[in-house]
Structure 1
Amino acid sequence: MFHSLSLRLRVFLFFVLMGLGSVVITTGALYYGYGRAQADDPASGYILAAVMSSFGLIALMIGVWLLFDENVAKPIERLAATMRTRAHAGVDLELDTHQARYLGDLAPAAKAVSHQLTKTTLDTAEAVASETARLSMEKERLTALLTEIPVAMILVSPSHQIVLYDAQAAEALSQIHHPRLNASIFDYFDESGLLEAHTDLLQSGIDVPFTAKGIHGNLEFDARLKPLGHAPGYMILIDDAHAMASPDAARPLIYDFDLMDHDVEHVLEDTPVSKLNFVVFDTETTGLLPHKDEIVQIGAVRVVNGKIVPREQINQLVNPGMPIPPASTKVHKVSDEMVADAPDIHQAAEKFHAFSNHAVIVAHNAPFDMAFLRRHGKTSGLAWDHPIIDTVLLSAVLFGASETHTLDALCDRLGVTIPEELRHTALGDAQATAEVLCLMIPMLQSRGFNTFGDVIQQTRKHGRLLEDLN
């Protein structure tokens, strides 16, 4: 019967409970104090009554608050989070009307709105899918056409950030660093020589041959800078790249043309969170003690423009220099035999450090993973001073601190599936965390947390969660 009451009536009953409870407690305290009052000191009875009524009223307020929090406040918070997830992350989650059973007609009304939103979204999705299929065909034609060109291609924005590269260019770049969208081209090639050729390109408007010198070792490539007509930016063509890969090999394109318009001069705190470069990573270790255990695997993926970049990932086994306990192997499936010929933590960390250059590092419970890297950074000379975002804290910002914030719980909440064979592997958990991050970015923006500074300010309010986890 209580379930059929309106929300307004339920709130009214909370106040009635507080009023009646206050009367009963105060009356009872006065009666008890009167009975205990001494003839020569009647004030003692009133003092006793005041003390008893004070404690009683405080207990009543706490009890009513707990009832209100559990039956009204928390369900409203969960309802709002679920609707925001559906609206901004595109996750088709069913509203839990049982949890919101004391909210009157609010939950059914929210469910009706959500179903209508889903119907509208499906209609839109059909149109988008049709257009996406057309663009996919065009991309396949473009890829097939470019396959016939025996050079490696890198498209660079006016601010010298990588916008596109093909598989042969990726092979050339990987000899210096892991290829990365939106990375500075000067992370790979000597800046002075490239800028000199770029100046000639701007003045002549025609192809400019030059020697692309790698920033490490003695790597050199015969290359050309090619203008893009009236379009901004330029293209680097590496003429001898065909020697590095079979001309018949598949040449998938990695690109994001929206990066052409990126302004790289933003102060980090003022940079829109959707425009940040993220490296999302996870580690598997010999144990849970960062001061004595070691990393056995590093997995990482890159997120650019709010999307996971295909093929830009690290899946690196690490030789910990110590036996891996059988209990740990049972969890992450990494054995002593698997890491016997793997690089040590200094080599693996250096590779990951370069992969994370000019990016915001993201992890689920980041202090744990970063503690291992920073301990070895002191001896290897790597400064782990990257800005960091923790998805545990993002979960608390979006769903409330009282919710469960494990990676599994967050994936369930956002409809992200971790294949069982990838769970508790570094790359699998990094991929899942990256998918979660991509869904949470528009949700953060819908709350008005648009810049990196806004997000960090909100996550600091929940820092105690990480202290409790670690």
Structure 2
Amino acid sequence: MTRLSLRLRNFLFFVLLGGGGVVLFCVALFAGYQKAAAGQVGSGFILSGAIGGFGLLGLSAGIWLLFDENVAKPIERLAAGLRTRAHAGAAGGMDASTAKYLGDLAPAAAAMSRQLTDTTLNTASLIASETARIAAERDRLTALLTEIPVATVLVNPAHQIVLYDGQAAAVLAQVHTPRLNAPIFDYFDRAAIETAWNKAAKQGKEQSFDAEGTEGAQCFALRMKPLEQGAGYLLIIDAAETHIPPEAARPLIYDFDLLEQRAGTRADATPLSDLTYVVFDTETTGLLPHKDEIVQIGAVRVVRGRIVPGEQVDTLVNPQMPIPPGSTKVHGITDAMVRDAPLIDSAARDFHRFARDAVIVAHNAPFDMAFMHRHGKRLGLDWSHPVLDTVLVSAVLFGASQTHTLDALCDRLGVTIPEALRHTAMGDAYATAEVLCKMLPMLKARGIVTFGDMLAETRKHGRLLEDLN
């Protein structure tokens, strides 16, 4: 059968359907004739119709199953594999065995995949030396800026953070985790910032002022320098008054495309590539969200399709209940490890602030979000964030009939989870974030551009998971 052409196989499906139908009706007519010969004319007609009708229905269902298993599903897998290699950068050749009954289609797809890989490698080798030179210069500039004892934050006209250096990261961390694309008002008093911005925009001059932090009793001495043509402003923090420890130096974090971003666009009308995501995972005492508890939260931020270095939450949580040995065997967290860890009240509030103004992403999100909603009701935390589930995204891209575990997705997209991090909240959150970054261009290639488009597609797979939006 594997040597037959695809057109011939399709022809044989219809021959089987037509020939099987003729045989069935012959059998039906023969059975009806026997009944009629015995004087049961009415029952003969009924028997003939029943045998012919139900037999044809069963034959059609059987042939459809054969067609679905040997033609439709392999084509779907083949298309998903090509899309993965074309848009997600996954390496490796096509598995022709999954489409062995599709004639020359699978070898042709494998050849195209190899050619695409070779072309990509050749192109990459031509620009590798220049890329290395630019990267080296960038690293030197980053190291230089990080060592300068001036904390600098670049902010766009919508008051969202576009850049922060190592010194600024240490200052912002005194209030909360530094976050690219977060409102500057999450860190400094809104009224002070807006007053200075209005003066700077009118006068076109640097403004010096004091602003309180949004948490604690800290006060910061700030200088605001407006950029040309209202493109935002540079916020300089007097590092001498912020007691920055030397070991707090971090790389320069930036995305200059955020200078063009404007606030106020609804999430469902925003391109997926422009959204900010918080990808998280939890480890728990068990699998019952209504009575089990969280023992670890891990989260990373994805801005404009890339994971932002250093912007993460990785915390153990004291569940105030014994951790069953079976659960410890999975995630490796013991009662002793969480004895001095923060309670869920504090951990949930910190994570809620970390996820502010972002789309929350998780693999099998209803499970993890059930814990957050349960504690949110008690703590007054509003978990009304848009939610994206990578299980449903996988179903959209690869078909509902495929396996959609995190391990299967990582294997399909060429993402490696270090064994030491598997079944840890941070390890699984980072792997899910990498998977998300690879799937975003694949969604765009499918014509799924905005978050609203994505919701419309995922709701077609509502039987897999609850829609949290």
Per the TM superposition, whether the score is higher than 0.5 is yes
Match of 2:286 in 1: 287
Contact 1:172 1:241 in 2 (8 A): no
1:197-276 paired onto structure 2 within 5 Å: 197-229=196-228, 232-240=231-239, 243-247=242-246, 250-276=249-275
Residue identity opposite 2:121 in structure 1: L
- In structure 1, C-alpha distance between the alignment counterparts of 2:250 and 2:429, rounded to whole Å: 26
**Structure 1 residue 420 and structure 2 residue 419: aligned?**
yes
Match of 2:193 in 1: 194
Contact 1:197 1:225 in 2 (8 A): yes
How far has the Cα of 1:98 moved from its partner? 1.1
**Structure 1 residue 436 and structure 2 residue 448: aligned?**
no
What does the per-residue CA deviation read over 1:251-293, in whole Å, with 9 as the maximum and x for residues that have no partner?
Answer: 4111111111122222221100000000000000000011110
Residue identity opposite 1:140 in structure 2: D
Residue identity opposite 2:82 in structure 1: M
1:32-181 paired onto structure 2 within 5 Å: 32-37=31-36, 39-181=38-180
How far has the Cα of 1:406 moved from its partner? 0.6
How far has the Cα of 1:112 moved from its partner? 1.3
Match of 2:463 in 1: 464
Contact 1:143 1:251 in 2 (8 A): no
- In structure 1, C-alpha distance between the alignment counterparts of 2:241 and 2:163, rounded to whole Å: 18
Match of 1:348 in 2: 347
Match of 1:31 in 2: 30
How far has the Cα of 1:348 moved from its partner? 0.4
Q: From the superposition, tell whether residues 251 and 281 of structure 1 become closer, same or farther in structure 2 (CA, over 3 Å).
A: closer
Match of 1:308 in 2: 307
Residue identity opposite 1:366 in structure 2: A
How far has the Cα of 1:230 moved from its partner? 5.8
Range with greater deviation from structure 2 (160-169 or 244-253): 244-253
Q: Counterpart of 1:225 in 2: which secondary structure? A: strand
Range with greater deviation from structure 2 (47-56 or 304-313): 47-56
Contact 1:79 1:100 in 2 (8 A): yes
Residue identity opposite 1:209 in structure 2: S
Contact 1:180 1:312 in 2 (8 A): yes
How far has the Cα of 1:48 moved from its partner? 0.7
What does the per-residue CA deviation read over 1:55-97, in whole Å, with 9 as the maximum and x for residues that have no partner?
Answer: 1111101110011011100110000000001111111132111
- In structure 2, C-alpha distance between the alignment counterparts of 1:204 and 1:172, rounded to whole Å: 28
Contact 2:286 2:292 in 1 (8 A): yes
Residue identity opposite 2:305 in structure 1: G
Range with greater deviation from structure 2 (314-323 or 126-135): 126-135
Residue identity opposite 1:450 in structure 2: V
Match of 1:182 in 2: 181
How far has the Cα of 1:217 moved from its partner? 2.7
- In structure 1, C-alpha distance between the alignment counterparts of 2:60 and 2:146, rounded to whole Å: 73
- In structure 2, C-alpha distance between the alignment counterparts of 1:128 and 1:213, rounded to whole Å: 48
Q: Counterpart of 2:97 in 1: which secondary structure? A: coil
Contact 1:85 1:414 in 2 (8 A): yes
Match of 2:366 in 1: 367
Residue identity opposite 1:173 in structure 2: L
- In structure 1, C-alpha distance between the alignment counterparts of 2:440 and 2:152, rounded to whole Å: 31
- In structure 2, C-alpha distance between the alignment counterparts of 1:253 and 1:467, rounded to whole Å: 39
Residue identity opposite 2:393 in structure 1: L
Q: From the superposition, tell whether residues 283 and 53 of structure 1 become closer, same or farther in structure 2 (CA, over 3 Å).
A: same
Residue identity opposite 1:287 in structure 2: G
Contact 2:78 2:99 in 1 (8 A): yes
Match of 2:387 in 1: 388
How far has the Cα of 1:176 moved from its partner? 1.9
Q: Counterpart of 1:299 in 2: which secondary structure? A: strand
Residue identity opposite 2:11 in structure 1: F
- In structure 2, C-alpha distance between the alignment counterparts of 1:325 and 1:247, rounded to whole Å: 42
How far has the Cα of 1:116 moved from its partner? 1.3
Range with greater deviation from structure 2 (4-13 or 225-234): 225-234
What does the per-residue CA deviation read over 1:287-337, in whole Å, with 9 as the maximum and x for residues that have no partner?
Answer: 001111000000000000000001101111000010000110010011000
What does the per-residue CA deviation read over 1:233-260, in whole Å, with 9 as the maximum and x for residues that have no partner?
Answer: 2111111357432457644111111111
**Structure 1 residue 334 and structure 2 residue 333: aligned?**
yes
How far has the Cα of 1:169 moved from its partner? 1.2
How far has the Cα of 1:229 moved from its partner? 4.7
Q: From the superposition, tell whether residues 262 and 203 of structure 1 become closer, same or farther in structure 2 (CA, over 3 Å).
A: same
Contact 1:331 1:424 in 2 (8 A): yes
- In structure 2, C-alpha distance between the alignment counterparts of 1:456 and 1:327, rounded to whole Å: 36
- In structure 1, C-alpha distance between the alignment counterparts of 2:97 and 2:168, rounded to whole Å: 55
Contact 1:171 1:244 in 2 (8 A): no
- In structure 2, C-alpha distance between the alignment counterparts of 1:106 and 1:418, rounded to whole Å: 33
Residue identity opposite 2:73 in structure 1: K
- In structure 1, C-alpha distance between the alignment counterparts of 2:179 and 2:146, rounded to whole Å: 21
What does the per-residue CA deviation read over 1:39-64, in whole Å, with 9 as the maximum and x for residues that have no partner?
Answer: 44312111111111111111101110
Range with greater deviation from structure 2 (205-214 or 179-188): 205-214
Q: From the superposition, tell whether residues 178 and 121 of structure 1 become closer, same or farther in structure 2 (CA, over 3 Å).
A: same
Q: Counterpart of 1:288 in 2: which secondary structure? A: coil
Contact 2:366 2:466 in 1 (8 A): no
- In structure 2, C-alpha distance between the alignment counterparts of 1:466 and 1:218, rounded to whole Å: 44
- In structure 1, C-alpha distance between the alignment counterparts of 2:417 and 2:162, rounded to whole Å: 30
Gap regions ≥5 residues in structure 2: none
- In structure 2, C-alpha distance between the alignment counterparts of 1:185 and 1:250, rounded to whole Å: 20
How far has the Cα of 1:175 moved from its partner? 2.1
- In structure 1, C-alpha distance between the alignment counterparts of 2:37 and 2:376, rounded to whole Å: 74
Residue identity opposite 2:26 in structure 1: T
Contact 1:150 1:247 in 2 (8 A): no
Range with greater deviation from structure 2 (201-210 or 216-225): 201-210
Count of aligned pairs: 467
- In structure 1, C-alpha distance between the alignment counterparts of 2:376 and 2:46, rounded to whole Å: 64
- In structure 2, C-alpha distance between the alignment counterparts of 1:298 and 1:343, rounded to whole Å: 11
Contact 1:38 1:44 in 2 (8 A): no
Identity %: 64
Report the TM-score when normalising by structure 1: 0.96
How far has the Cα of 1:143 moved from its partner? 2.2
Residue identity opposite 2:16 in structure 1: L
How far has the Cα of 1:148 moved from its partner? 4.5
How far has the Cα of 1:128 moved from its partner? 4.2
